[in-house]
């Protein structure tokens, strides 16, 4: 993850890989029976990093897709017009003037 991040999809995938790395590290803390000292700890960190990167590239758990969808720029005028149209359509429903809509 030391390379410069150039686009949203790469950033989202890197975030998911980091999240998965942390999850793997937490799961591995309960496995203290295989303590191998400093070298064993380094191996476990490198293994977690490699596994999390591979998991993220293979589709991961869906975090990258959600983050990418949230970060990608969308035209605001289109969403504004869609919201205004939805409001106008809901306001022109068949409610009699002066009578509240029954929500039951």
The answer to whether residue 15 is domain-embedded is yes
Round the average pLDDT of the chain to a whole number and report it. Answer: 75
pLDDT band at 17 (very low <50, low <70, confident <90, very high): very high
**Spatial CA neighbour of 61 closest among 3, 19, 4:** 19
Per-residue pLDDT tens over the stretch 54-66: 998 898 899 998 9
Residue positions counted in the chain? 104
- Number of domains observed in the structure of the chain: 1
| pTM value > 0.85 | no
13 in a structural domain? yes
Sign (positive/negative) of CA torsion 36, 41, 43, 47?
A: positive
Q: Domain of 36?
A: 8-90
In a domain, 1, yes or no: no
d(CA 16, CA 70): 14
- Whether residue 29 lies inside any domain: the answer is yes
Residue 100 resides in a domain: no
Task: Please tell me the distance from the alpha carbon of residue 10 to that of residue 6, in angstroms, as a whole number.
Answer: 7
> CA torsion sign, 31 to 37 to 42 to 43?
negative
> Quick one: which of 28, 5, 24, 15 has its CA closest to 56?
15
């Amino acid at each position: 993850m030391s390379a410069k991040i150039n686009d949203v999809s790469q950033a989202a995938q890197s975030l998911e890989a980091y999240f998965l790395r942390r999850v793997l590290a937490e799961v591995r803390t309960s496995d203290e029976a295989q303590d191998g000292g400093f070298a064993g700890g380094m191996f476990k960190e490198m293994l977690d990093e490699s596994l999390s990167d591979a998991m993220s590239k293979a589709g991961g758990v869906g975090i990258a897709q959600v983050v990418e969808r949230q970060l990608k720029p969308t035209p605001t005028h289109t969403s504004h017009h869609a919201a205004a149209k939805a409001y106008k359509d809901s306001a022109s429903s068949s409610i009699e003037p002066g009578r509240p809509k029954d929500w039951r």
